[in-house]
């Protein structure tokens, strides 16, 4: 992956600064730099007449502003022709910034749209300034200012508050050179992220292919229903005996067969279903049907989680880790969802689940398969940890140089 060599870029910027602004650069408030206004939308938001229909246009809200200084490709909502006069039209190539919730997201819009009141729109500039440079400085300024913004969960900065924000305004040649470098960084970051995600996805597909191959019926395997070798736990345990490490609710099971996290909540009364080491816990209410964990301790769970336990007389013939791999397959999850019952929050059908057919080879073959799949799973998990770490390191490098490029000494009059 290509990287920007800052040792080559730095002297050029330093030379321009030495030539064009040796005593520092002037800082100006946003009010001195541009004219801006907030967006708008007719109330109440929920009225269906404000959305879609013939002549509808993209309607930009906070969630539609990406973290790459662009709008999403397709906005979540479109504003109807009836509502458009009550909103604010924003042509492409306009700088906007979010003022509520996830504040400080900046975009240079790439298509015509209408904009919500939770964003500010920079309509005209009062000085000569590179629009993209202004957007980079605006984003950088908000990163520091939003730490002191009002609100705990939903942060808010008013138009009046950021009127006084000040940013450096070096000569245009310096602005243009900075934009050139930062745009290159952004492109390389996007390429890196795409490459890392593609590599991770390829490894996952490879792992899934070998999983299916290894777990497929062979001449030495016996075909049985799950009920022939296992049953649901009917052991009860008092919730008072549990803490966050040995209580599992459906929300603690991770999506897509990844295990569990510790609970932030433990019931303080009543009885729960007990699970033991080696039991398999399966989420049993949509959207949590595709969750599974093999217990590594003793604990309790609630009615939204099924606890599958190998029958006593089958424990010498069936490795619990092998059964975990069988039940963490797409084939099992597809089967469970097919027989799920209920409209709003479907639940897995317990009797149907017990009729799921599995193939069990001899124990030594199970152990061989488990050993191979364990290695594959470790490899995939290591990649899942390692690749994001590499991406994060590159992002930190980008942040460091970006902050350096956007930081200037304020002009000092030597008279």
pLDDT for 270-296, tens place per residue? 899 999 999 999 988 766 667 889 999
So what's the pLDDT on residue 52? 94
Report d(CA 178, CA 134) in Å as an integer. 11
So what's the pLDDT on residue 283? 87
Helices (H), 255-362: 320-327, 330-338, 350-353
So what's the pLDDT on residue 149? 59
User: E strands of 227-266, at which residues?
Assistant: 230-232, 236-238, 247-248
So what's the pLDDT on residue 164? 85
So what's the pLDDT on residue 287? 65
- What is the pTM assigned to this prediction? 0.60
User: E strands of 12-147, at which residues?
Assistant: 27-29, 34-38, 57-60, 77-79, 88-90, 95-98, 100-101, 106-108, 113-115, 119-125
Specify the pairing of strand 166-168 against strand 292-294.
unpaired
- The CATH class for the domain spanning 222-360 reads alpha beta
So what's the pLDDT on residue 65? 94
Closest CA to 133 of 91, 187, 181, 64: 181
So what's the pLDDT on residue 205? 80
So what's the pLDDT on residue 334? 87
Report d(CA 320, CA 376) in Å as an integer. 18
State pLDDT tens for residues 127-138: 999 999 999 999
User: E strands of 221-279, at which residues?
Assistant: 222-225, 230-232, 236-238, 247-248, 271-275
- Does the domain at 26-169 match CATH 3.90.220.20? Answer given as yes
Average pLDDT, the chain: 85
Which run of H or of E encompasses 310? strand 305-310
So what's the pLDDT on residue 174? 94
The 10 Å CB-count burial string (b at 16+, else e) for 368-402 is ebbeebeebbeebeebeeebeeebeebeeebeebb
Domain residue ranges of the chain, discontinuous segments joined by +: 1-23+171-207+372-415, 26-169, 222-360
Beta-bridged to residue 98, according to DSSP, are 119
Tokens for 62, please give them: 């906070």
Report d(CA 268, CA 242) in Å as an integer. 9
- For the chain, the C-alpha Rg in angstroms (whole number) is 29
**Would you give per-residue pLDDT tens digits along the chain (415 residues)?**
445 555 555 667 888 888 898 888 999 999 999 999 999 999 888 889 999 999 999 999 999 999 889 999 999 999 999 999 999 999 999 999 998 878 889 999 999 999 999 999 999 999 999 999 999 999 998 888 776 655 544 556 776 778 888 999 999 999 999 999 888 887 877 787 787 778 778 877 877 787 777 877 666 788 899 999 999 999 999 988 888 788 888 878 877 666 788 777 788 788 999 999 999 999 887 666 678 899 999 999 988 899 999 999 999 999 999 999 999 888 888 888 888 887 666 788 899 999 999 989 999 999 999 998 888 877 776 666 666 677 777 778 888 888 889 988 888 765 4
Helix, strand, coil tally for the chain in percent (to 5): 40, 20, 35
């Amino acid at each position: 992956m290509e990287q920007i060599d800052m040792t080559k870029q730095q002297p050029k910027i330093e030379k321009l600064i030495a030539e064009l602004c040796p005593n520092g650069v002037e800082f100006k408030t946003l009010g001195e730099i541009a004219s801006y206004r907030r967006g708008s939308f007719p109330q109440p938001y929920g009225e269906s007449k404000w959305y879609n229909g013939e002549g509808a246009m993209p309607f930009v809200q906070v969630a539609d502003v990406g973290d790459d200084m662009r709008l999403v490709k397709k906005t979540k909502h479109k504003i109807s022709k009836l509502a458009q006069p009550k909103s604010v039209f924003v042509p492409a190539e306009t700088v906007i910034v979010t003022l509520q919730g996830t504040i400080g997201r900046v975009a240079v819009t790439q298509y015509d749209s209408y904009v919500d009141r939770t964003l500010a729109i920079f309509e005209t500039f009062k000085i000569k300034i590179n629009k993209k440079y202004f957007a980079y400085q605006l984003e950088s300024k908000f990163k520091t200012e939003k730490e002191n913004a009002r609100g705990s969960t939903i942060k808010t900065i008013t138009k009046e508050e950021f009127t006084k924000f000040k940013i450096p305004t070096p000569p245009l040649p310096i602005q243009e050179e900075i934009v050139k470098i930062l745009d290159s960084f952004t492109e390389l970051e996007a390429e890196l992220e795409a490459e890392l995600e593609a590599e991770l996805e390829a490894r996952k597909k490879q792992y899934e292919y070998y999983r299916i191959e290894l777990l497929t019926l062979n001449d030495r395997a016996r075909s049985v229903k799950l009920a022939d070798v296992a049953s649901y736990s009917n052991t009860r345990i008092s919730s008072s005996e549990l803490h966050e490490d040995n209580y599992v609710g459906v929300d603690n099971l991770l999506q897509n067969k990844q295990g569990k996290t510790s609970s932030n909540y433990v019931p303080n009364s009543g009885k729960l279903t007990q699970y033991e080491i080696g039991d398999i816990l399966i989420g049993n209410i949509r959207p949590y049907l595709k969750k599974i964990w093999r217990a590594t301790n003793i604990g309790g769970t609630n009615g939204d989680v099924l606890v599958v336990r190998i029958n006593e007389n089958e424990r010498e013939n069936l490795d619990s880790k092998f059964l975990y791999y069988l039940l963490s397959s797409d084939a099992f999850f597809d089967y469970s969802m097919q027989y799920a019952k209920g409209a709003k929050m479907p639940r897995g059908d317990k009797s149907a689940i017990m009729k799921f057919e599995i193939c069990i080879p001899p124990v030594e073959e199970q152990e061989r398969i488990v050993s191979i799949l364990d290695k594959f799973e470790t490899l995939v998990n290591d990649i899942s940890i390692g690749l994001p770490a590499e991406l994060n390191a590159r992002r930190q490098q980008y942040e460091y140089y970006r902050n350096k490029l956007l930081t200037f000494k304020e002009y000092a009059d030597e008279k």
